[in-house]
């Protein structure tokens, strides 16, 4: 004779397996209906994505619906006066009847929390406040939190072998399951990009590739970009000084 506990356990397992099978069947049914609906609306959604024209009564995907609602909202951020937002509009907790973009809303929330970073003493953070994993009850800003995570982790860079990184550990795009420090990660991106500097014909750069301001579709290495930027700033200053000199001469002649 089997014990009552064993019988109860066996029936419990049977019920759980039946529930799992039913959930699996319902999930497959929902997935097929969603894919059919997406196939029907794909043509109209593709038309809307490329033209950004509002079509009354047409079926569009969720992403395009969000874009359409943001375009029709015609709102303006009460702080930065921007008419665009990443995601959706938020109601300000300080300004009555004012709407905020996502960036300004996050800034407002961090200020209202009245927190200070336990590492650097900052009263503001770029994203949000985090709880420290080392000191209980201590809040950290976005930058110090990722620094703490980098020091706690037991990871090491597969390229240089260092166990420290300036930001956070990043997954390598060439070696599966391996991690890179920030410096080596950007070096790997530069090597994989296949880009070439239009000024010095170099295939490597010290940091990242920059878009050329004089030639569209061309790239510059960090060294050539900084040199061209200094040259453009110098030319701009000379033009401003020339305009100021012309104004003084014209005013002197009038007198």
pLDDT digits (tens, 9 = 90+) for 64-119: 777 777 777 778 888 888 888 877 888 888 888 888 888 888 888 888 888 888 88
With contact defined as beta carbons under 8 Å apart, do 42 and 48 qualify? no
Q: What is the DSSP letter of 197?
A: B
Q: What is the rounded CA–CA span in Å between residue 60 and residue 45?
A: 5
- Report in angstroms the alpha-carbon separations of 233 from 182, 217, 238: 30, 22, 9
With contact defined as beta carbons under 8 Å apart, do 196 and 173 qualify? no
CA 61 to chain CA centroid, nearest Å: 22
Look up residue 251 and give its two tokens: 């005013």
Pick the more confident residue, 4 or 102. Answer: 102
pLDDT beyond 60 at 33 = no
Pick the more confident residue, 10 or 77. Answer: 77
Pick the more confident residue, 33 or 193. Answer: 193
Specify the 3-state DSSP secondary structure of 180. strand
Look up residue 11 and give its two tokens: 């029936």
pLDDT beyond 80 at 221 = yes
Q: What is the DSSP letter of 220?
A: E
Q: Which residues of 138-153 are buried (b: 16+ CB within 10 A; e: fewer)?
A: bbbbbbbbbbbbbeee
Q: Of all residues in the chain, what percent carry a pLDDT higher than 90?
A: 0
Q: How confident is the model over 43-63, as a mean pLDDT?
A: 59
- Which stretch of DSSP H or E encloses residue 23? helix 4-51
What is the predicted pLDDT for the residue at 238? Answer: 85
Pick the more confident residue, 166 or 219. Answer: 219
What is the predicted pLDDT for the residue at 4? Answer: 44
What is the predicted pLDDT for the residue at 44? Answer: 45
Q: How confident is the model over 109-136, as a mean pLDDT?
A: 84
pLDDT beyond 60 at 32 = no
What is the predicted pLDDT for the residue at 47? Answer: 45
What is the predicted pLDDT for the residue at 170? Answer: 86
What is the predicted pLDDT for the residue at 107? Answer: 82
Q: How confident is the model over 168-184, as a mean pLDDT?
A: 86
pLDDT beyond 50 at 206 = yes
Place of tokens 């070696």: 175
Least confident of 117-121, 181-185, 237-241, 243-247: 243-247
pLDDT beyond 50 at 131 = yes
Place of tokens 């049914």: 29
What is the predicted pLDDT for the residue at 3? Answer: 46
- Provide the pairing of β-strand 99-100 with 90-91: antiparallel
Mean pLDDT of the chain: 76
What is the predicted pLDDT for the residue at 17? Answer: 58
């Amino acid at each position: 004779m089997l014990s009552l506990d064993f019988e109860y356990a066996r029936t419990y397992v049977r019920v759980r397996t039946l529930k799992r099978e039913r959930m699996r069947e319902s999930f497959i049914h929902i997935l097929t209906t969603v894919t059919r609906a997406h196939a029907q609306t794909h043509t109209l959604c593709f038309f809307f994505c490329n033209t950004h024209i509002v079509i009354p009564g047409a079926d569009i995907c969720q992403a395009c619906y969000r874009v359409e609602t943001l375009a029709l909202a015609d709102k303006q951020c009460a702080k930065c006066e921007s008419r665009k937002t990443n995601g959706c509009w938020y109601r300000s907790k300080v300004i009555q009847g004012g709407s905020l973009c996502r960036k300004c809303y996050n800034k407002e929330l961090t200020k209202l929390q009245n927190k200070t970073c336990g590492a650097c003493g900052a009263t503001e953070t770029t994203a949000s406040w985090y709880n420290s994993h080392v000191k209980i009850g201590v809040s950290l800003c976005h930058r110090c939190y990722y620094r703490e995570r980098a020091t706690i982790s037991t990871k090491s860079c597969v390229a240089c072998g260092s166990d420290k990184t300036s930001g956070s550990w990043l997954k390598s795009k060439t070696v599966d399951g391996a991690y890179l420090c920030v410096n080596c990660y950007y070096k790997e991106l530069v090597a994989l990009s296949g880009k070439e500097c239009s000024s010095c014909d170099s295939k490597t750069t010290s940091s990242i590739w920059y878009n050329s301001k004089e030639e569209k579709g061309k790239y510059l290495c960090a060294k050539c970009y900084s040199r061209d930027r200094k040259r453009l700033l110098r030319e701009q200053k000379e033009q401003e000084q020339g305009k100021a000199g012309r104004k003084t001469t014209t005013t002197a002649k009038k007198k």
